[in-house]
């Protein structure tokens, strides 16, 4: 028989999600699609501790690299090897986290953690 503690935690996450808007799938998760050399949506706003997952829909490799090409931040640097590849980052501190693709540096995105 399961405990009731887990149920309460899930309820808390669902309540928090309402702030993010209807477009956000899942519970404490947010998704970015990588397609046609673009991160979509380019800006994502999440609560601290939310897992953000990128899914590559291009046939070529991209990266999710923190900072900008001019000013790297070294918080994360994930490879999206090819179509269907995913990478996730969980940011726990509020702030604005720009990122880019290290292979195509015009590809830029931003995560805002509340």
Binding-site ranges for Cu ion (CB under 5 A): 62, 101, 103-104, 107
* Max Cα-Cα span within the chain: 54
Nearer to Cu ion, 9 or 40 (CB): 40
Question: What is the nearest approach in angstroms of Cu ion to the Cβ of residue 92?
Answer: 26
Question: What is the nearest approach in angstroms of Cu ion to the Cβ of residue 90?
Answer: 22
From the list 68, 74, 75, the residue with the least C-alpha distance to 105 is: 68
> In the beta sheet, which residues pair with residue 3?
none
Nearer to Cu ion, 16 or 68 (CB): 68
Examine residue 25 and say whether the peptide bond preceding it is cis (omega within 30 degrees of 0): no
Question: What is the nearest approach in angstroms of Cu ion to the Cβ of residue 55?
Answer: 13
């Amino acid at each position: 028989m399961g405990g009731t503690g887990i149920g309460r935690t899930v309820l808390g996450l669902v309540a928090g999600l309402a702030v993010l808007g209807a477009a956000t799938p899942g519970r404490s998760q947010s998704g970015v699609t990588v397609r046609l050399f673009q991160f979509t949506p380019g800006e994502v706003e999440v609560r601290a501790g939310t897992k953000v997952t990128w899914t590559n829909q291009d046939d070529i490799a991209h990266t999710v690299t923190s900072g900008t090409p001019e000013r790297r931040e070294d918080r994360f640097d994930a490879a999206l090897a090819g179509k269907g590849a995913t990478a996730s980052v969980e940011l726990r501190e509020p702030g604005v986290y720009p990122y880019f693709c290290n292979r195509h540096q015009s590809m830029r995105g931003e995560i805002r953690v509340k």
